[in-house]
Structure formats: C-alpha cells, structure tokens
Chains A and B, each alone.
Chain A
Amino acid sequence: MDALDLARWQFGIVTVYHFLFVPLTIGLSFLVALMQTAWYRTGDPKFLKMTKFWGKLFLINFAMGVVTGIVQEFQFGMNWSAYSRFVGDVFGAPLAIEALVAFFLEATFIGLWIFGWDRLPKGIHLACIWLVAISTNLSAFFILAANSWMQHPVGFEINPERGRAELTSLWAVLNNSTNQVAYPHVATAAFLTAAAFIIGISAWHLHRRQHTEVMRESMKMGFVVALIFGVGVTVSGDLQAKVMTEQQPMKMAAAEAIWDTQAPASFSVFTVGTPDGQSELFSVRVPYLLSFMATGDPNGEVEGIRDIQRESEEQFGPGDYRPIIPVTYWTFRYMIGFGAVTAALALLGLIMMRGGRNPAEKRWFYLAALWTIPFPLIANSFGWVFTEMGRQPWVVYSQMFTADGVSPLVGPWMVATSLTVLTLLYLVLAVVEVGLIVRYVKAGPPEDDASGPIEPPERDAGARPDDERERPLTFAY
C-alpha cells in the first residue's frame, strides 16, 4: 500500500471511530437537558435520578468524542497537506467558526455542568447543559457545512495562479443546499442513536424489574424520540437522495449499482451478481422505488453508471469516475436497514407499553432492544462510508481528486506508523469505554438523595489558620 491508501484508511478509521461518539453526544446532551428541565420544573426526584444516570453515561461517552476530535483537525494538515493548501481559504472558515463558536461553548459549559451541581443556582446549572446541547448541534452544523462543500462546492472561485479555491461567499458555503439536507439527516440520526441507547439500557433494567420508575420513564422517552426522529431521518434522507441525484448523479447510480439509464427504475433490496459486479444473477426488487427516491416521480429517469462515466470523461477528461460499486451499493442498504429496524422497534415498543405494561418482560423484546443499541451506530458508520466513498475519485467533487490531496512528502511508513498507533490506541480505549459504560449501566441510577450524604469536613494535620473549611465537592474527579 502506498501513502495515499494508508492515509485514506486512516481517515476512514479515525473518522468513523470519532463518529461513534459524536451522535450519542448530540442526542444525549439534548435528552439529558430535557430530563433535567423536567426535574427543574416538577422537583420530582425521578427526573433527577434520570438526569444523573443518563448524564453519567453521557459523560463517559463525551470524553471519547472530545479527545478523538482533536485528531480530526490535525489530520487534514498531517496526511492531506495538498488538500489543505487547495481548500484552506474556503474550507478552513467553517472549521474555525466551529471551533470558536461551538467548541469553546461546549468545553466550557460541560465543565460548569459537571462540577456545578450544588454550586451553581439550579436555573444556571440547567442552562449549562442546554448550552452544551446547543453547541453540539452548532458544531455538527459547521462541520457538515465543511463536508457539504466537499460534496458540492459553492461560494468559491479557482485562482489558477495560486492553484487554490478562494472564497467568494461564506454565506453560500454555510447555506449550501447540500447542507440543508445533510445536517438534518445527521442530526435526526443522532437522536435516533441516543434513543436506541436509552431504550436498550432501560430494557435491561426493566427486564430485571429494577429501578422501574426511572427506567420506565426513560424507555417511554426513548420510544417517542426514536419514533419522531426515525421519521425525521427517513424524510431528511429522502430529501438528501434527491439533492444527491442532482448534484452527484454518479453517487446515486452507484448506490443502486444501476449500470444503464432507466425509467422507471426499481430499487433492489438485495442482489446477487457476477463477481465483476456488472451484471446481476438474482435480486429482490421494489418497482418504481428508486425513481421515486431519486427524483420524486415514480416514473422518473435515473441515469446509469455507464452514461455518467461517459459524460464525466467529456467534462473532466479521461479517467475512471466510478466509486467502488459494491461498497456504495451495500453501505447504502445497510444504512437504511439498520436505521429502519431501530425505528420499527420503537413503534412496536410504544404499542406494547400501552396500559402500563412492561414490554421488556418479554424476553424476545428485551433481547431485541439490547441488540438494537449498536444498530444506529452501524447505520451512521455505513452512511458516512457511503457518502465519502461514493464521492470518489473526488475529494472535492468536480474540483480535486483524492489522489492529488495527499501530503506529497509524508512517506508510507510514517502514515503506517500513525495508522497503527491510532488504531491500537483506539481499540484499547474502546474496550475501556465499553467496560465503563457496562459498569455504570449495571450500577443503575443513584438511590434517593442523588448528591450523596454530606460528611463533616475533617481537619488535616497540616492545616494553617488561613485554610478555608468547606464541605466536600458534590462531584470530584
């Protein structure tokens, strides 16, 4: 493998890994803020226990999202210096705005929220978690504005002398039609992810008939959120497909592996094809569906890979403009499938919960809920792999090839070193993180007084007269 392949593997691994934590952070921050708001409004200790229990799991996850995020910013310069030089004038702006506006807010108010229990007035403390929730969404918006620019570059012109893209309108970059559908799709998927997490864990406790008050409330919240955002992620995904068909026709054709232009076009649920992927032996199909997904018209024409390849050669010169078709075909299906199963489980659970019944009493439902926890994470990962692999061979669609973006003088062994080091580190941290999550899930919500007994301060031997005497911190690392 050369440095290009290694750098691509590294980008894929560290980005997908980072994005395991991000959606949970986005979704859970909001849901924990809602729980705390319920406690603030009603004073019901049930909601405080919910806030503390889910809040702790949220923080275990949050830490990983923060530290793996630094790699994201650094690796553009490290592995993709030619890309950075080409796009920096345009692409750097949303990243810098994200850092200044969103990350500062998030990092500051998360500290205030963690350490602010019993130290800040209740209303201010509640505002802290809301600011964290808002900032996670702001940061998602700006990072997706940056990514949308790679999918559909706008608001720039090429300076041939400098060989770079130069900003003409930041508003156009932030208001990119691609981001108008990409951001809602990612945000709704994040809420679905958090909801599945809550459903599965609540089911674990409810199956054991413990902490029923807290877990029942949590599970109901999970079902409702999963259902609302399950619909949201479908609608936004549908809108995104139409934008994608218009802006990146090759990606849509590759998602369906449709080689020849068709009208109407059917959607294949799965296909068995020849090894070269160019002709199919057997498939299960839904007629008109692809036409509808791509164009909004059941008889609409969907362009095939061969035609788009020919047009691309005319437009951009000779070359292979096809992504790896089996990858785009299957990731597209897995994304939809894993997401749909999650939403379906929520609908089923909500029905089974009517009349005060406990759906987790049924062993099959409990197991299904538990196994569904990773489903949205898998769907998210496949979604990213699809949209990034589907853009290939471009790194910036129609402007720069991925192969031209890699750092020219960073040797393969250097990329291999960082790929190995980061992958091993990430594996170890994944084990640690999952272990902690399991531990704190099993521990359940805190009993009764969530802040714990307050013990009188002890005088230590070396105390001097100027020492301040205070009770212990409610929370300390």
Chain B
Amino acid sequence: MTLAEFWFVLVGFLFAGYFLLEGFDFGVGMLLPALGRDDTGRRVMINTIGPVWDMNETWLIVAGASLFAAFPYWYATLFSGFYLPLLLILVALILRGVAFEYRGKVDDPVWRQRWDIAIVAGSVVPALLWGVAFANILRGVPINANGDFTGNLFTLLNPYGLLGGLATVVLFATYGAIFVALKTVGDIRYEARALAAKIGVVAVVLGAGFLVWTQLQHGDLGSLVLSVLTAVALVAGLAANAREREGWAFGLVAAAVVGLVATLFVALFPDVMPSTTDPAYSLTVENASSTPKTLAVMSWIAAFGLPVVLLYQGWTYWVFRKRIGRHSIPTSPQHGAAPVAGS
C-alpha cells in the first residue's frame, strides 16, 4: 500500500467516524418535534447528546483538515465545486451548534422554539447534503483539465445524488431514534423504539435502492461485499430493535452507517473525484495527494495522536453512559435564564 492509499483509507476512516458519531446527533435533532412532546421531552433528547455533540462534530474538522493536508487537489476541487451545498451545511452547523448552547439560556418559550427550529433544520440540512455530496463524488462531476468543477448547483441535484441524500436523512433519523431509545428512560424510550421501527422501513427501502444503484453503476467486488454487509447490518439492527435489544440495535445500525461510508470509498477507489468531462481529468489517489514526505510525517502524527483521541473520547462516552429521563432535567431554569425583573 502506498502512503497515498493509506491516507485514502484514513480519510475514509475519519469521515466514517464523523457519520458514525454525528449521524445519531443529526437523527436526534431531526426527531426533536416528533419525539419531544413538550419542552422537558425535548430537553431529554438534547441532553442525550449534550456532552458529546461538539466532539462528534470535530470529526468533520479533522476529516476536512486531513483532506487539505493529504489530498490538497481533492480538497480544492470539492470545496470550490460544491460551493453552495457547503455554504448551506456551514450555516446549518453554525445555527445548530449555537442552538444547543443557547437554547436553555433564556427561560422563554418563544426563544426556545426558535432554537428548536434551528436544531431541526440544522440537522436535516447537513444530513441531506452530505448524502448528496458523497453520492456526487462517486457519480462523478464535470471537472476540467485544471481540476476545476465546471457544473452548477443543479448538476449535483441529479436523481442518484438526491436518492443518496434522502437515504442518509432517513438512515440518520433511524439511527437517532435508536440512540434515543438506548439513552433514555420513560415513555420517550418506547416511543423512540416504535418510531425507529417505522422510519427504519423507509431507511431499508431507500438505502437498498441507493446501494443497488451504486453497485450497478460504480461497483466492484469489494463494494458488493460491503453493500451486502451494510444492508444485513441495517436489517439486523431493525430486527434487534423490534426485539427490544437496544444495544444490539444501536451497534448494528452504527455498523450500517460505517458500512455505507466504506462502500462509497471502496467504490470510489482509485479515483477520489472522477471527471465526467474526460476520465483523463479525474482526480485520483495518486494525482491529488500530497508528497510522500508530507504524508509520512502526517502518518506518524496520526499514529500517535489518533489512539489517544479514541481513548479519551471512549472514556467520555463511558462517563456519560447512564440513561437519562424526565427526572434528569432540572426543574428550575439556569441561574440567569429566568426573566429579569424590569427587562
């Protein structure tokens, strides 16, 4: 394996890590109105991800920076080419992050309702657009000899891309519902389970459709094996959910999320952004990567850094392993959040 190939795997690992972790955050955010009947219910949901959403989102920053360092040409073409979708993702992530932190800071229903909207939109939009983006990366986009994207927004909104986006939305919604069931007590836990079963059916249909299309158009033997494993994990996860085995359900759907990313990356290899204009203009693992020198230095840093990161992030999940419920939510608002006299 060349260093560039190793970094292709590593970038895939980082994006898989991102969707593995923020996938259920997106799901929790999307389902806020569906599962959180009242404010306390919504707060239970938000607090299941409260301590971890920021570190989960940081996987995107690390994946993006690694893309820049290891595959500058891929990073440059992707980010300048998918300009408007990325702008929307940025706006969504900004609003969503601020919403988590600020929502409880003022004890006022209108204030909270506005931030709830930000959380829902801020979760649906990136879940959809990341799906659209990755489907289009695999599908190929018009790229000229200089490596620049020559299409526009509508180039990306093709049926395959849109199917990819819808598939990730429902997959993450299912994943989020199963996460809520795993992390809560009380009615919400059972409602989340029931909702996961319903959305899960849609996720299986759309996910299978997307995987089959992927396999027919872009697949090889490796992606075939991974597609099958992904589909099996998703179905088995839903079966576990139906049997009220929450830990298994979560683990299997998580495996399906990772499997989906793995399928796309395996099908993509050895390209990183195929050009539909002329295959000669395609960005590949070899022609889009940094020098072996840079990749070698970065490999050492990743080899020492990543295991430590995984350890302390694992420890964080262990610290916050307990289920929470309506009783966990403090009845009095935060000091300072109550309406100030005379203001």
Contacts and interface: CB of A to CB of B under 8 A. Distances in A.
Nearest to A458: B327
B54 A100 contact: no
A167 B186 CA distance: 56
A282 interface: no
B326 interface: yes
B77 A99 contact: no
A111 B50 contact: yes
B328 interface: yes
A247 to B, nearest CB: 24
Contacts of B97: 63, 66-67
Interface stretch (A32-40, A253-261, A359-367, A468-476): A468-476
B151 to A, nearest CB: 10
B90 A70 contact: yes
Interface residue tally on B, bucketed by range? 35 or more
B48 to A, nearest CB: 10
A474 to B, nearest CB: 8
A70 B93 contact: yes
B331 A436 contact: no
B118 to A, nearest CB: 11
Given A81-B76, A82-B76, A111-B55, A96 B335 contact: no
Interface in A445-464: 446, 452-453, 455, 457-464
B101 A63 contact: yes
Contacts of A269: none
Contact of A70 (B60, B146, B324): B60
A281 interface: no
B193 interface: no
Interface stretch (A87-95, A296-304, A306-314): A87-95
Interface residue tally on A, bucketed by range? 35 or more
A103 B294 contact: no
A46 interface: no
A422 B95 CA distance: 11
A168 B340 contact: no
Contacts of B53: 111
A460 B55 contact: no
Contacts of B70: 92, 96
B213 interface: no
A89 B65 contact: no
B139 interface: no
B293 to A, nearest CB: 6
Nearest to A432: B102
A210 interface: no
> Which of A93, A432, A442, A470: most chain B CB closer than 10 A?
A93
B225 interface: no
B297 A167 contact: yes
A13 interface: no
Contact of B294 (A90, A407, A469): A90
Interface string A147-181: 00000000000000000101110100000000000
B239 interface: no
A100 B309 contact: yes
Given A467-B185, A467-B186, A477 B50 contact: yes
B72 A85 contact: yes
A200 to B, nearest CB: 18
> Which of B61, B87, B326: most chain A CB closer than 10 A?
B61
A76 interface: yes
Nearest to A408: B148
Given A88-B73, A111-B50, A111-B316, A468 B323 contact: yes
B61 A477 contact: no
Contact of B58 (A78, A103, A170, A474): A103
A5 interface: no
Contacts of B298: 93, 96-97
Contacts of B322: 468, 470
B149 A409 contact: yes
A472 B330 contact: yes
Contacts of B316: 108, 111-112
A98 B65 contact: yes
Contacts of B327: 457-460, 469-472
A316 interface: no
A474 B86 CA distance: 37
Nearest to A443: B336
Interface stretch (B103-111, B163-171, B195-203): B103-111
12 contacts: A88-B69, A101-B301, A104-B309, A114-B50, A170-B294, A408-B148, A436-B105, A439-B106, A439-B336, A455-B331, A466-B185, A473-B47
Please provide the 9 A-B residue pairs with the shortest distance between their CB atoms, ordered closest to farther.
Answer: A88-B72, A77-B79, A92-B69, A443-B336, A462-B187, A63-B101, A81-B80, A81-B76, A96-B69
Given A439-B343, A463-B186, 15 more contacts: A52-B335, A77-B80, A78-B86, A81-B76, A84-B72, A105-B312, A107-B54, A111-B54, A112-B51, A409-B144, A422-B90, A439-B105, A442-B343, A452-B332, A455-B330
